[in-house]
Amino acid sequence: MRKRRTELGDVIPVPAEVWPDPAGGFRVGPDTRIRIVTAAAAAPTAGTATAGTATAPGDAGAAGSAVAIAEQLADLLRQATGHTIPISDTAGQIVIELIAGRGESGELAQSAEVAQSAEVAQSAEVAQSGEGGQRGEGDQSGDVAQSGEAGHGAEGGESYELTVTPDGLSICAGTAAGLFAAVQTVRQLVPVRGRGDVTIPGGRILDRPRFAYRGVMLDVARHHFPPDEVKAYVDAIAQFKINHLHLHLTDDQGWRIEIKSWPDLTTIGGGAGTGVDGAGPGFYTQDAYADLVAYAATRFVTIVPEIDMPGHVNAAQAAYPELAADRIAVAPRTDLAVGYSSLVIGRERTYTFVEDVLREVAALTPGPYLHLGGDEADATTPEDYRTFMTRVLPLVARYGKRAIGWQEMAAVDLPPGAVPQYWRIEPADDGLARAAANGNRLIMSPADRTYLDMKYDPDSPLGLRWAGLIDVDRAYDWDPADRLPGVGEPAVLGVEAALWSETLRSITDVQVMTFPRLPAIAEIGWSPRNARSWESFRRRLAAHGPRWTAQGIAYHRSPKVDWD
Ligand code: TNX
């Protein structure tokens, strides 16, 4: 069978709206230039002034980030063609247009170029009447959310328009995050590396995310991965419009983030012999961590730090006997067991420790979220668990952050803006339904679909199997809005895949478990439900095998896909 020609829209995640024009491709040649246009909105609508301004973490301002994104686009086109692709602010067939203050897809329609089109006008109405039924990320979360996440990640804040004609290519967005998303779309339409002209397929895309939060969790506690490897991982995931990287920084087998007021957490808890089988030592200094956070911001990825408590604390108790029952140092553990350690709930020193850690981690975190773990606290009585969470949740708000916690956290009444994360496979959960009814929004990570540490098939050399085998079709074929009774579309903040690292010892292992399943989760998180299908996805996915190879990314050649 002859391979179908690539069309505009043959990307992952599939865009919200695409009008391909096979006759209208744009040829990138030796004379191609990029032109940057930035314009302040005439009168930003009330309430969108902050949400629409391009203030992703690390941005030096809207215009500055437009330049940085133009550089990224120029760079990928240089790699694809070998041409020089200069950037100019006066002339160019490729136009990058940032209309600052215009965050919503509907507002984009007011830009002169697109106002004529009827379809655009319709999507404008949808956007103005409440983003097609979805609420903005910060709607019910009070001051914390407003100060913490302005302009980054809210629905509409990542929308963009991409137009390709024989005369040129134009990208238009209200935020730097939207421009960045558009560039990821263009990236997938040109080769990773090449020599000579390349034709980008013609047509028009209007795109915006279904969910604000699209994440992946990497467990750097069971096995530590150094900053350069995590940066490369950020590059790999951002191509699929994943916008949060949750780092599981602490667990029984290791503590991986420097805490200046409790230095032995890392000198002992992150030192030689830590990690599963003692094979994953290492930790991030605060400087290295801050550098990683800033790097991720240039890829519009928000780092979500997790400090797991009150369970999963053996490494902390091995470093500080005062945190252990009877104040006797516990032995370091390098096995796979879970659920045996707990902070001492009735001891004041515990809360000094917790507050010191949360304060230092919050200070390293420009993003809005701080993850408290809270899972598998089998060594804490239910009453103690509630006492602990009820006391600690307000501390997160005190340091200006919104708490995320694994679903067990929903055993207590959650403050506004706290985000429980569904991870189990049971089809219902009273605590989560109650949280949703109270207006808290959830992250969906059902283990039988999104756990990237599960084996693909019985022959997978890496991974566990407690949540079942998960090949890429199983990772794709579900929907976050009908997974849990009482938790419908408006209650879903987003989706997250989780990669626990008990069986993973290298970044190559991490890549093989991530690809191709993470792109499935990315499409579920971004694309409208009725725009996606497994048959279309597996065809678009096939092109990524050679792309990953060219990028030096290892992947699992799932037999469910006819790889190019
Ligand atoms: C469950 S999922 C855990 C982790 C393990 C993982 C292994 C969750 C919140 N906790 O402690 O690493 O299973 O798949």
pLDDT for 63: 77
> Residue 105: which pLDDT band, with cuts at 50, 70 and 90?
very low
Q: Which atom of ligand 1 is nearest to the CA of 467?
A: 14
Q: Across all residues in the chain, what is the average pLDDT?
A: 89
* Residue 376 annotated in active site: yes
Task: Tell how far the Cα of 406 is from the centroid of ligand 1, in angstroms.
Answer: 10
Kindly state the tokens that stand for 207. 């795109």
> 500 in ligand 1 pocket by Cβ < 6 Å?
yes
How many whole angstroms separate alpha carbon 264 and alpha carbon 251? 15
pLDDT for 118: 30
How many whole angstroms separate alpha carbon 130 and alpha carbon 105? 11
pLDDT for 40: 66
> Residue 515: which pLDDT band, with cuts at 50, 70 and 90?
very high
| Whether residue 310 has pLDDT greater than 60 | yes
SS3 of 420-459: EEECCCCCCCHHHHHHHHCCCCEEECCHHHHECCECCCCC
- Please pick, among 7, 229, 376, 489, the residue that the annotation labels catalytic: 376
The amino acid at 542: A
How many whole angstroms separate alpha carbon 227 and alpha carbon 224? 10
CB-based contacts of 46, cutoff 8 Å, min separation 6:
none
pLDDT for 139: 33
Q: Which atom of ligand 1 is nearest to the CA of 464?
A: 14
Q: 160 and 15 in contact (C-beta within 8 Å)? A: no
Kindly state the average pLDDT of the residues 446-451.
98
Task: Tell how far the Cα of 391 is from the centroid of ligand 1, in angstroms.
Answer: 24
How far separated are the first and last CA of the chain, in Å rounded? Answer: 13
Q: Which residue has the tokens 């850690």?
A: 357
| Whether residue 141 has pLDDT greater than 50 | no
> 429 in ligand 1 pocket by Cβ < 6 Å?
no
Q: 8 and 163 in contact (C-beta within 8 Å)? A: no
Task: Tell how far the Cα of 500 is from the centroid of ligand 1, in angstroms.
Answer: 7
| Whether residue 214 has pLDDT greater than 50 | yes
CB-based contacts of 293, cutoff 8 Å, min separation 6:
57, 303, 364, 365, 366, 367
Kindly state the tokens that stand for 149. 């996440």
Residue minimizing CA distance to atom 7 of ligand 1: 500
**Residue of 276, 375, 448 to test ligand 1 pocket, by largest number of atoms within 8 Å of CB:** 375
> Residue 237: which pLDDT band, with cuts at 50, 70 and 90?
very high
Task: Tell how far the Cα of 487 is from the centroid of ligand 1, in angstroms.
Answer: 22
> Poorest-confidence range of 36-45, 134-143, 177-186, 540-549?
134-143
Please give the C-alpha separations between residue 480 and each of 210, 398, 421, in angstroms, as whole numbers.
Answer: 11, 31, 12
